[in-house]
Amino acid sequence: MTIQAAEKFAKENTAQVAAQYRPKIHFAAPYGWLNDPNGLIYYQGYYHLYYQHNPYGANWDTMHWGHGRSKDLVHWEDLPIAMAPDEEYDRSGVFSGSAIVHDNRLYVMYTGHVVAEDGTVTETQNIAWSDDSIHFTKYEKNPVLAAAQLPAGGDPADFRDPKVFTHAGRFYAVIAAAVDGAGQILLYESEDLLHWQYTSSLLANLPELGRMTECPDFFTIGGQDALVFSAIMPNEEPHLVQIALGKLDWATKTFQMDSLQPLDQGLDFYAPQSFEHNGRRIVIPWLRHAEMVNYLADHDQNWNGQMGIPRILTMVDGQLRQTPAVTGAALQTVTLAETATRSIPVASILTLKKGLAVGQSIDLESPDGVVKLRQTTADTLELQVHCDLEQRQLPIKTPTGQGALTLVLDRSALEVFASDGAAVASLVFFFPSAIDTLKYAGEANQLTVQSFEA
């Protein structure tokens, strides 16, 4: 498979993409399937979003790296496909990875996925680079990490998703692996990005790591070290994303975990990746309906998958908080009476200044369905979806005490930031008609509406 062939096919078929469920402010591929965000970075004046992409259809299949860039994290420009599975070591898929700038050159480290004729799967880590962010050269001596560099019990079929970073002048990468049938996060070290060695296992023996861990991330926030990971759970349990906070001892290369919590309490949030720019830790996840991953493909939409809105992750008084990293073009603030009904833009950020007290609620209505949010107890915000297609219910655990409630609404996605962003949940839904009405029941409150319709 080549970049040229994929570009040709996508361009010939982009006109077939249906607008019905397509988001306005959540990034989606111009055509075909999208999943994990890859290689998030600010480089040469742009935010770059590479992503797992099947340019030939709306189902998951042989992965390429798609590419978009933005000046403001709202308006995205689609760029040519960055990498295709065109080498022996990545012939079955250019899987997930990350980016780093070194000596003004953009390097990416990614997983090459190979399925042999007998079904045997092998995953390796590989390097490519670019001087313009668009055209990449794959390292002639790839792969740079393979089965020989796995610890004892490591499975070369489940060894993927490197996240590269620096510390004390050296390069490191956290990589997901299955070791003795269970997920672990491994640490690798390099002096030059081209020669790597196994250092240690940072996280293991946790049920939350699942039978296979995916898309690990490492960064420091609020004086603590953080490991973020997604997990494939056994027995069809929900695949959740966790953040472990603690301290990485760089002398012993061991991680002491102090706490573990969901990064997002929604079921439709997966594979987030973060990067830092101008002192902000920015996170972008993949959003998909966990129970109906192929709904859009099965209904001839010719696209599938969207990114979550970019979020800023902070630590406030020892508490993780997330807030949208984007703002709307139009801003309006209104006072809501104890009961209020008003029209809202299809793509908008809605902020209720005092949040919801116990017994208070917000309904987001479409002619074809409703998303209900109700504060049922001091520490539980209940989220419900009602439509002909499905009935879903999700309790969101919130800190006691009210704080602002922010809702990022789009054509087929809702992201909830409760208690000043201390509790977050993401939702994908498929209403044939867009949500356009807000109904509020509670005490007088102030609502700010940021519209992206302009």
Is residue 73 within 8 A of residue 326, CB to CB? The reply is yes
Task: Tell me the C-alpha distance between 227 and 247, whole Å.
Answer: 10
Which domains are assigned to the chain?
Answer: 3-320 (2.115.10.20), 327-451 (2.60.120.200)
Render each residue's pLDDT in the chain as its tens digit; 454 residues.
899 999 999 889 999 999 999 999 999 999 999 999 999 999 999 999 999 999 999 999 999 999 999 999 999 999 999 999 999 999 999 999 999 999 999 999 999 999 999 999 999 999 999 999 999 999 999 999 999 999 999 999 999 999 999 999 999 999 999 999 999 999 999 999 999 999 999 999 999 999 999 999 999 999 999 999 999 988 777 778 999 999 999 999 999 999 999 999 998 999 999 999 999 999 999 999 999 999 999 999 999 999 999 999 999 999 999 999 998 877 889 999 999 999 999 999 999 999 999 999 999 999 999 999 999 999 999 999 999 999 999 999 999 777 999 999 999 999 999 999 999 999 999 999 999 999 999 999 999 999 998 6
Neighbours of 206 (CB within 10 A): 18
For 129, phi then psi, to 5°, come to -145, 165
Tell me which residue of 148, 392, 403 sits closest to 268, measured CA to CA: 392
Name the pTM for this structure. Answer: 0.97
Active site residue 86: no
Please tell me which residue in 36, 158, 217, 410 is annotated as part of the active site.
36
Following DSSP, what letter does each residue of 38-63 receive, concatenated?
A: EEEEEETTEEEEEEEEETT-SS--S-
Residue type, 171: F
